[in-house]
Structure 1
Amino acid sequence: MNRIIYFPLVLLVFIASCNTQKKASKFRFDTPEAGTLVKKGESIPLKLVFPSEISSFDSVIYAIDGEVLARKTDSTPVSLDTEKAPFGSRTLSAKLYHGGEEQVAYSNIVVVPPSPKRYGFRVIQEYPHDPQAYTQGLEFDHQGILYESTGQQGRSSIRQVDYKTGKILKKTDLSPNSFGEGLSIVGDKLIQLTWQEKVGFVYDKNTLTKTAEFNYGRSSEGWGLCYDGKRLIKSDGSSRLYFLNKDTYVEEGFIEVYNDKGPMDSLNELEYIDGKIYANVYTKDIIVIINPDTGAIEGEINLIGIYPDKKESDNELNGIAYEREGKRLFITGKNWPKLYEIELVAR
C-alpha cells in the first residue's frame, strides 16, 4: 500500500518540477501585469523574464501598439512614459532575437486620467415640469426658449416649453413606431435622435415641422446629442461619443470616455457647456464632465437626492440644459414633475 501511494507522490513532484521549469523558461513580461491601470503621464518600467536557457541574445525590441519604443541588447528594464499615450487599453510587446530565432511576449496596460473633481449641488429654483414627459433631450436656444424631446413608443414628441410655467407652447408628435431620444439645436434647426430606429429627424425650430431625416453610421443607437458650435456630438449608450457633421449628419470620428477606473459606459443625455461635454450616466444620479479633446472625465456631479420621490424604473435623471445668457444650469428627469435650476458646489 505504501508503494502505491509513494509512486504517485514522486511522479507529482516530478511533474510539478517540470512545470515550474517550463514556466520559468518562458519569455514573458514580469511587469506590468496585463490590465494594469496607469494614470496618464506616469512612467512605468517594462521588465522581462528571459528564457533560462539563454545566457545572451542579439537584441530585444519593445513596442507599444506596434510602435517601436526601444531597442536593447541587455536585460535591464525600459521606462515607458505614458504622457502621449491615448486613454484605453494599450498593447505592449517585446521581440527577443537569438540565434536567428524570434520570441514574442505580450502584455497590456489601461491608460486612465487622474481622478475627477467632485461636485455636489444646491437647488436655486424649482419650476413645474410635465410629469407625463418621458424626457430624453433638453436644450435652450439663444433666446432662452426651452425645447424638449420625449420618448416611449406612441408618446414621443418634440416640444417648445415655457420653462417658468411648464406650459407646452408647441408640440409635434412622432409616429407611433418612433422612440424619441436626444435633442440639439443648430441655427434654426432642431436635430432629434430616435433610439433603435437608426434614424434622426431635422425640424424647423420655429414651427416644429419636420424637414429632413438622416441615418446613423457606426453608432448603433441614438441616446444623447449636443452641439459644440462646429459639430454635433452623439452618444449611443456606450463609452463612445461620436462626432457628426453639422450639415450632413455623417459620423466623422469618435472618442472613448474614461475616468480613473476605466471606460465610462452608459453615457446618455448630453449638453455642451463652456468647452466641456456634460453627460448623465444612465440609471445613476450623476453627471460627468468630459474633455472633448481627450475623452477624460474631469469632473463628476453627485445629484443623489435631488428628486426624492424617484421610482425604481422609467424615472431616471435624464435632462441637462444650460441657459447661456444667464449661465444657469437646469436638470430634470423622465416623468419628473419639476425642472431644477442648480448650482454646483465643489467638494
Structure 2
Amino acid sequence: MNKLIYILMILLGFAVSCNTQRNASKFRFATPEAGTVVKIGESVPLKLMFPSDLSSFDSVVYAMDGEVLARKTDSAVVTLDTEKVAFGSRTLSARLYRGNEEQVAYSNIVVVPPPPSRYGFKVINEYPHDSEAYTQGLEFDAQGILYESTGQQGKSSLRKVNYRTGDIIQQINLDEQYFGEGLTLVGDKIIQLTWRNNVGFVYNKNLAKVGEFAYGQSKDGWGLCYDGNRLIKSDGTSRLYFLNKDSYAEEGFIEVYNDKGPVDNLNELEYIDGKVYANVYTKDIIVIIDPQTGAIEGEINLIGIYPDKADHDNELNGIAYDRKGDRLFVTGKLWSKLYEIELVAR
C-alpha cells in the first residue's frame, strides 16, 4: 500500500474516532434532526442523546419556541403533537439539569400544511386589454369600473378602465422616479403601492392624490388587497403583512407555506371569500392562501392561458374579482387580453 495513502487512512480513522467520542459526550437531539419537515397534525418523537459519562440527572425541560412542553426526570422519549402548532420553523430545546450544572440541546422542525387542492381553468370570456399596460394591480369597484396600476420606470400609471372594451376612462401618470405596483380599494379611497421607493399613495375616486404613507418592515411594495378590516400587502417574499386601513401602519405578518415549505415571490393579491389569491412571480400560478394561518389551500395552474407570452417581463400578474357577478378575471404584464375564468377542480 502507498505509504501516503496509509497515513491518510490512519488520520481519517483518528478523526472519525474523535468525532464519535465527542458526540458520545455531547448532550443533543437524536430526533428530530434539524430542519425536519413535518405535516401539521403529525406526532414528532423528541429523543435525546445523553453524555456517555452521565450516570444520573435531576430533570430535563423540553420547550418549543421558549414555551415549556414537558418536564421529565428520566430519558423517556417525549411526543410532540403538532395539531395546533403554527406553520414555519419551530425551535426545539432541551435543558438538562444536574446539581448546579445545565446543558442545552437544540433542534428545529418546519411545520407545513397538507398539500393544496389543485385547479385548472376554463375561459368564459375574453376582453381587450392594453398591451402597453405593465399590469401590477387590478381591482373592480362596486359599479363595475376596473382600476389598474401599471409599472415600469417612467411609464407607471393609475387608471380607470372599461373592462368590456379595454378603453381607458381616466389615467394619471406617476412621477418618473416611481415604479407603480399593487393597488386596492378601501371605500372611496384607492391605495397604490410603489416598488422600491418605500412609499404608498392614497387617491380619491377622481384619481386625485389625497395622501401617502411610508412602509414599515416590508421595504418593497408588490401586491395589495383589502379584507374589509385591514390591508394585506406582499413584498416579494413569503410574508403577507397586515396594515391598518386608516393609518397604513404595519400591524403584523404571517409566513405563507405549502406542503414543501415557505413560498416566496408572492405578488399581486386579491381577497375573495375569506381567502387571499396571489400571483407567484414568474409562474403561471395563483395560490389561494388562508390569511389566518398562512397555509396555501389551493393552487390554480394557468399555464397556457395566454399564448403570446414572451420569455420575460410578460408574466401573469393581475387578479380582479367582480363580487356582484361572482366572476374572476386575470391578465398579465403587457397582455392584450383580460380573461374571465372559471376554476376546474382536478
Spell out the pairing of 1:1-347 with structure 2 (5 A cutoff): 13-14=13-14, 16-205=16-205, 207-347=206-346
Q: CA deviation at 1:4?
A: 9.6
Q: CA deviation at 1:276?
A: 0.3
Change (3 A) 1:9 1:304: closer
TM-score by length of 2: 0.96
Instruction: Give the 3-state SS of the residue equivalent to 1:247 in structure 2.
Output: coil
TM-score by length of 1: 0.96
Q: CA deviation at 1:199?
A: 0.7
Residue-by-residue CA offset, 1:213-258 (whole Å, 9 max, x unaligned): 1111111111000011111111111111111111111111111111
1:338 partner letter: K
1:135 partner letter: T
Q: CA deviation at 1:278?
A: 0.2
Change (3 A) 1:20 1:144: same
Residue-by-residue CA offset, 1:254-275 (whole Å, 9 max, x unaligned): 1111111111111000000000
Q: Extract unaligned runs of 5+ from structure 2.
A: none
2:315 partner letter: E
Change (3 A) 1:330 1:6: closer
Q: Extract unaligned runs of 5+ from structure 1.
A: none
Q: CA deviation at 1:100?
A: 2.6
Q: Distance in 2 between matches of 1:8 and 1:232?
A: 62
Q: Distance in 2 between matches of 1:28 and 1:244?
A: 41
Change (3 A) 1:183 1:2: closer
Q: CA deviation at 1:14?
A: 4.8
Q: Distance in 2 between matches of 1:173 and 1:12?
A: 68
Task: Count residues with an aligned counterpart.
Answer: 346
Change (3 A) 1:5 1:198: closer
Q: Distance in 1 between matches of 2:236 and 2:9?
A: 55
Q: Distance in 2 between matches of 1:2 and 1:148?
A: 74
Instruction: Give the 3-state SS of the residue equivalent to 1:154 in structure 2.
Output: coil
CA RMSD in angstroms comes to 1.8
Change (3 A) 1:71 1:166: same
Instruction: Give the 3-state SS of the residue equivalent to 2:211 in structure 1.
Output: strand
Q: CA deviation at 1:98?
A: 2.1
Q: Distance in 1 between matches of 2:18 and 2:170?
A: 78
Q: CA deviation at 1:17?
A: 2.8
Q: CA deviation at 1:21?
A: 2.1
Q: Distance in 2 between matches of 1:264 and 1:5?
A: 47
